[in-house]
Amino acid sequence: MDKDYWEIFYKNNKHPFAPSYFAKFCLDYFPKDSYILDIGCGNGRDSVFFSEKGFRVFACDQSEVEINFLKSKYIHNPYFFVSDILDLTNLHSRVNVVYARFVLHAILDSELLNLIENIYKLLPPGGLFMSESRSDKTNISEVGKNFDPHFRRLLNSENLRKSISDNNFVIDYFSEDTGLAPYKDEDPFMIRLIVRK
């Protein structure tokens, strides 16, 4: 992930705002009394939303600027902390849901495989991993390359499903479509996955 880009971005965009469409969608899938880990939480919009719905939330991001700001506003729930999303071993057995919105398309292929493997190890039996990412069905010609001003690639849904299945996750929900994450005049193809250990 491009840490320098995100440090500058969050310095200028600190305050949480309305939850994402994906966060609202996921509410129906959370087990009662879930402990949620929001990886790559950004400005905390979805983490705060989940905590307001009564869930215990741990939320991490690589941006020290944003996490320090969020920690000054939210002391106990959500619990915000700085972390490399590829190193989550300190949370083993503490969460039963891992939530990752707009994360998988912001990391390299090799990092993606490592992350999926680590999430599987982190979750208890029956634990859920929920993800929303940009699909390569989006009409952009330079799939898999660097999109200025920061790194972003588009994911192939079949490759992603294979990576998920290779790590013994069971797919509970899959969708690849537009209309899932519209923003201003953009309506890209997105991949939504909910998988179970």
pLDDT digits (tens, 9 = 90+) for 61-71: 988 988 998 99
In the predicted structure, residue 148 carries a pLDDT above the cut 70: no
What's the CATH fold of domain 3-11+21-196? Rossmann fold (3.40.50)
In the predicted structure, residue 3 carries a pLDDT above the cut 60: no
In this predicted structure, which of 85-89, 96-100, 160-164 has the lowest mean pLDDT?
Answer: 85-89
Mean pLDDT estimate for the chain: 86
In this predicted structure, which of 12-21, 26-35, 76-85, 161-170 has the lowest mean pLDDT?
Answer: 12-21
Question: What pLDDT is stored for residue 26 in this prediction?
Answer: 98
Long-range contacts of 168-172 (CB under 8 A, 24+ apart): 168/120, 168/197, 169/116, 169/120, 169/129, 169/195, 169/196, 169/197, 170/195, 170/196, 170/197, 171/195, 172/29, 172/128, 172/196
Distance CA(64)–CA(47), nearest Å, equals: 16
Binned at pLDDT 50, 70 and 90, residue 181 comes out as very high
Q: pTM value?
A: 0.86
- Token output for 71: 């920690």
37 bridge partner residues:
58, 98
Computed from CA positions of residues 191, 110, 122, 76, in that sequence, does the dihedral angle turn out positive or negative? negative
Question: What pLDDT is stored for residue 75 in this prediction?
Answer: 87
Question: What pLDDT is stored for residue 145 in this prediction?
Answer: 45
Binned at pLDDT 50, 70 and 90, residue 13 comes out as low
